[in-house]
Each structure stands twice: as structure tokens, then as C-alpha cells.
């Protein structure tokens, strides 16, 4: 009795395509692979844009640094033309397979639109020891839109590259130094 209804729905459903995943969207333009299921100590590090590799290609106009600590906390610093390098965001991070998610602390009371909350963890296939974070909120779309002529360059421009790892032993001294030197909440208050 229900079989004709099921059979009638099958042709309509067969034509549906699932949208590409973030890694498939990246792989359509550049040879990268996802890096899933890293431990906190494996992902910990200072992720920077512009990376040292990108600074060889163009002078920096500003910079951003995401310090991911092995205790699953982070500090995000930002500098542009006018402000000094300041902590724009800080909090905790979580990992679900190859997706990193940032969660701000309660004392971040200002708008943090410049900080992407979700990142895909990838590496270029030819470089097994490197790690990149590609923001999923707007950087991936920006990369797809502008990667036509030079996808390698656009990948560097739109992602954060890990420049160094951060060990458990250096976490507290580095966090303390960043907080002393770059914690300026008055800069962000309206």
C-alpha cells in the first residue's frame, strides 16, 4: 500500500546533490588535505597571518596571531595601521574532527567580528608537518571567489599558518607575557 508512494519519491530525491564540504571546496582550488583528530598538544601553536612565507611576497599591512595553547585556551592578537598590537579576543577552543571552534571568555564584552569562530585544519599535501587554519565564516568564501589566478597566494592570504608550536611548559609564561603587554580592553570599549 505504501510502496507506490516511496517509489514515487525516489526519483525526486535521486537528483538532489549534497553541498560540498569545506575541505572539498578548498580542494577544488588547491592541493590540501584535512588534518583530523589532533590532540591539544599537536594543534597548539602560534598561527599567524601574514606568515613568514607570505611576508616574502608582500609587505604586511597589519597582522593577526592566534595563540592556541595545549590547555585548550587561546589568545588572539590583532594589529593594523592605527592600534598597537592588542588582544582582541581570548577564551577556550574545542575540536571536532578537523574543525576548530573558538569560544570567547566572559570578559570579552566588545564586538569581535574580525575573529572567525570556526576553522578548518588543513595542510598542503607536499608539507606533512605544517598546519593551516582556514576560517569557515568568511575566509573560505573569499578564497574561493579570488583564487582564480593564483590559488597558492590566495590560500596564504586567507589562512593562518602555524609558525611555531607551543609546549605545555611555555604556556603560562607566554600567556602571562601576552596579557601584560597586549591586554588593553580600554581600546575596544565604545
| Predicted confidence (pLDDT) per residue in 54-112, tens digit | 988 887 778 899 999 999 999 999 888 766 789 999 999 999 999 999 999 999 988 88
CATH of 20-106+113-167, one of 3.60.15.10, 3.90.180.10, 2.40.128.370, 3.10.180.10: 2.40.128.370
Instruction: Evaluate whether 85 touches 79 at the Cβ level (below 8 Å).
Output: yes
Domain ranges within the chain, ordered by starting residue: 20-106+113-167
Q: pLDDT-based confidence at 1, cuts 50/70/90?
A: very low
Instruction: Evaluate whether 48 touches 67 at the Cβ level (below 8 Å).
Output: no
What whole-number percentage of the chain has pLDDT above 90?
Answer: 68
Alpha-carbon span 99 to 109, nearest angstrom: 25
pLDDT at position 85: 84
Amino acid at each position: 500500500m505504501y510502496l507506490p508512494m516511496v517509489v514515487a519519491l525516489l526519483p525526486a530525491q535521486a537528483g538532489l546533490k549534497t553541498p560540498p564540504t569545506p575541505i572539498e571546496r578548498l580542494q577544488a582550488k588547491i592541493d590540501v588535505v584535512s588534518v583530523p583528530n589532533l590532540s591539544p598538544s599537536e594543534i597548539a601553536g602560534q598561527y599567524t597571518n601574514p606568515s613568514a612565507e607570505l611576508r616574502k611576497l608582500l609587505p604586511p599591512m597589519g597582522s593577526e596571531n592566534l595563540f592556541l595553547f595545549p590547555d585548550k585556551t587561546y589568545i588572539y592578537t590583532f594589529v593594523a595601521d592605527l592600534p598597537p598590537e592588542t588582544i582582541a579576543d581570548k577564551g577556550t577552543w574545542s575540536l571536532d574532527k578537523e574543525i576548530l571552534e573558538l569560544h570567547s571568555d566572559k570578559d570579552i564584552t566588545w564586538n569581535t567580528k574580525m575573529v572567525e569562530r570556526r576553522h578548518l585544519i588543513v595542510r598542503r599535501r607536499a608539507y606533512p608537518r605544517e598546519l593551516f587554519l582556514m576560517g569557515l565564516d568568511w575566509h573560505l568564501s573569499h578564497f574561493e571567489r579570488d583564487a582564480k589566478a593564483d590559488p597558492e597566494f590566495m590560500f596564504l592570504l586567507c589562512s593562518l599558518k602555524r609558525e611555531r608550536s607551543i609546549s605545555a611548559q611555555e604556556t603560562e609564561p607566554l600567556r602571562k607575557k601576552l596579557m601584560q603587554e597586549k591586554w588593553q580592553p580600554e581600546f575596544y570599549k565604545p
